[in-house]
Amino acid sequence: MNRISTLAKISPLADIERSVRGNYVAVGDDVTIDSFVKIKFAGGDGNVEIGPRCYLNSGVVIYSGNGVRMGAGVLIAANTTLAATNHEYRARDRTIIEQRFMPSRGGIVIGDDCWLGANCVLLDGTVLGQGCVVGAGTVLKGEWPDYAVIAGNPARIVRYRE
């Protein structure tokens, strides 16, 4: 059962699926979910938890996978994907779809007051500390410290917020 605050602003053009496995989407107060945002239950039994005062811009896609949790005041720019799951592919004698999904790497956790630029991709196991900024087009995995400004491919810390 999804838990969506009555104070959230969700575009009628956003698509928040209902889970068939019992996991849920929780949306906090004063959250804005723009048009063409897609939240899909796929690849695991994790929940999607969006803290208060977050803004998800047009075209953001979130796959629940092993869980996605974002703190307060997170800003996510257009066309960013949060993929908290990975397809299994290593066995050559079976198709990828037959192999299902890899074990969890911990889902995705985004700390308070983070900003993700347009066209970013966050992979399963990504943990962003408080106040991180992620440059447009960056692909992220792993843990990143508080107030890091991260950019490039491969992703690297280019500086820290003052």
Query: Domain containing 109: what range?
Result: 3-160
Give me the residue label for tokens 């257009």. 78
Percent of the chain residues topping a pLDDT of 90: 85
Q: For the chain, how many structural domains are there in total?
A: 1
* pLDDT tens string 1-52: 789 999 999 999 999 998 878 889 999 999 999 999 999 998 888 999 999 9
Output the pLDDT for position 160: 98
Output the pLDDT for position 137: 98
d(C-alpha 137, C-alpha 125), whole Å: 18
Output the pLDDT for position 100: 87
CATH at residue 135: 2.160.10.10
Work out the average pLDDT over 44-62: 96
Count of residues making up the chain: 162
